[in-house]
Amino acid sequence: MLSENKFHKYLLYAIGEIILVVIGILIALSINNWNEGRKERIVEQNYLRRLLIDLESDFKILTFSKGLSQARINQIQMLNNVSEYSKQGDKNSEQIVISIEKVTWRSYLPLSKIVYNELLNSGKMSLIQSEKLRNVLSNYYADADHWEMILNVEDAQKEFSHATAGLLSTHLLTAIENSSSLRNSNPNQNFEIEFEENEIDKIIHEFSKNDEALKWLPQIHHYHILADKVITNLSIQNETLRDFVQDELKYRKHNTP
C-alpha cells in the first residue's frame, strides 16, 4: 500500500511536470508567434510605404503621359488640316513640321512595378493582410500591363514614318529629338528650332500632297485617343489605390504593438 501510494504521488508529480513543460512550450510558442507576427506587420508596413512611393511615381508618369496624348491629338488635328496652314508665314507652320515627326511618338509610358514585382517574385504578397488591397493592386498592374502591350502595337505610326521618310532632313530630325524629352515636366513645351530658308514651305507642300501618309492619320489619332482614355482610367485607379494604401498604413500604425 505504501508502495502504491508512493507510485500515485510520483505519477501525479510526473503528470504535473509534463503539464508545466507543455504550458511552458505553449507560452514560448505564443511569444514566438507574437514576435513573428509583429515582425511581419513591420515588414508589411515597409512594403506599403514603398508601394505608396511607387504609386506616387506612377501618378506623375500618368500625368505627364496625359499631356503627351493631348499634345499628340492636337498635332494630328493640325496635320489633318494641313491644307489650311500651307500658306507662307502661318504661325502654325513650324509646329506642323515638328508634328510630322512627333505624332508617331508614344503617348503612354510604362509604369513602375518594382515593389509589386518584388512582392510577387519573393512570395511575400501574403504579407499584405488586406485581401481587398491585394486584389485592387493586382487589377491595377494587370490593367497597366495589358494596355502597355496593346499600345505597343504601332503599325500605323510605322507606316506613316515610312511614307514620310526623307521629308524631314537629318539635321531637322536630330534637332526635334534633341529639343524634346519624354521625361520633361511639360510635354507641350515648345523649343526653338532653326529652319533653313523656305524649308518649312517645302515640307508642308510635299506633305499636303502625300496621300500615303495622310491616310494613316485617322488610325494614329485613334491610337492617341485610346491612350488618353487608358491614362485617364489608370489615373483614377491610381488615386483610389493610393488612398487605400494610406488608410492601411494608418490602421497598421495604430494596431501594431
Sign of the torsion formed by the C-alpha atoms of 175, 216, 94 and 205: positive
- Res 236: pLDDT: 96
The pLDDT profile of the chain, 257 residues, written as one tens digit per residue, is 445 566 666 767 777 778 877 887 777 777 666 566 677 778 889 999 999 999 999 999 999 999 999 999 999 999 988 877 655 456 678 888 999 999 999 899 889 889 999 999 998 998 898 899 999 999 999 999 999 999 998 899 999 999 999 999 888 888 888 876 544 545 555 556 777 768 888 899 899 999 999 999 999 999 999 999 999 999 999 999 999 999 998 887 777 65
CA-closest candidate to residue 233, choices 97, 66, 45: 66
User: CB within 8 A of 63, min separation 6: which ones?
Assistant: 235
Question: Could you give the CA distance from residue 204 to residue 90 in angstroms, rounded to a whole number?
Answer: 11
Distance CA 101, CA 79 (A): 11
Domain segments of the chain as ranges: 2-255
**Confidence at residue 54, expressed as pLDDT on a 0 to 100 scale:** 95
User: CA separation (Å) from 37 to 31, 123, 245, 249?
Assistant: 10, 17, 20, 16
pLDDT score of 182: 47
Q: What is the pLDDT of residue 65?
A: 94
pLDDT at 12: 72
Q: State the sign of the Cα–Cα–Cα–Cα dihedral 248, 250, 253, 255.
A: negative
- 3-state helix/strand/coil string of the chain: CHHHHHHHHHHHHHHHHHHHHHHHHHHHHHHHHHHHHHHHHHHHHHHHHHHHHHHHHHHHHHHHHHHHHHHHHHHHHHHHCHHHHCCCCCCCHHHHHHHHHHCCCCCCCCCCCHHHHHHHHCCCHHHCCCHHHHHHHHHHHHHHHHHHHHCCCCHHHHHHHHHCCCCCCHHHHHHHHHCCCCCCCCCCCCCCCCCCCCHHHHHHHHHHCCHHHHCCHHHHHHHHHHHHHHHHHHHHHHHHHHHHHHHHHHHHHHHCC
